[in-house]
Amino acid sequence: MTIGKINSNTVEAQEAITELVGIDASGLSNQSVNFGSSNVPSMLAGQTLSNQLMSDVSKVVACVLAQANKFPELANAIEERDIEASQRFK
C-alpha cells in the first residue's frame, strides 16, 4: 500500500482499504476475561481493564473501517470533479 494524498484514482483508493475490509473485531466485544475466584486486587483490576479494552478495540476497529470505506466514494467524487474541470480546458 502506498502512502500519499487521496486522488481521483479509484483503483488505488479501493486497494488502500482492501487490507482493512477483512478485519473483524466484532467478536471482541462479546469476549471477557475471567480469573475465576481470584481475590487478588491487581488481578481483578487487570480483569476489568482487559474487558473494557476488548470492547473499546472492537469499537475503534468498526470506526476505522467505516471511515476507510469512504475512500472509494471520495475518490469517485474527486474523479468526477477532475473530469468536469478537464472539460473546461478543451
**Domain definitions of the chain by residue range:** 38-90
Evaluate if residue 7 carries a pLDDT over 60.
no
Three-state SS for 11?
Answer: helix
pTM, two decimal places: 0.53
User: pLDDT at position 64, please?
Assistant: 84
The pLDDT value given to residue 2: 55
Q: What is the pLDDT averaged over residues 24-40?
A: 78
Q: Which of 12-16, 46-50, 63-67 has the lowest mean pLDDT?
A: 12-16
Q: What is the 3-state secondary structure (H, E, C) of 22-86?
A: CCCCHHHHHCCCCCCCCCCHHHHHHHHHHHHHHHHHHHHHHHHHHHHCHHHHHHHHHHHHHHHHH
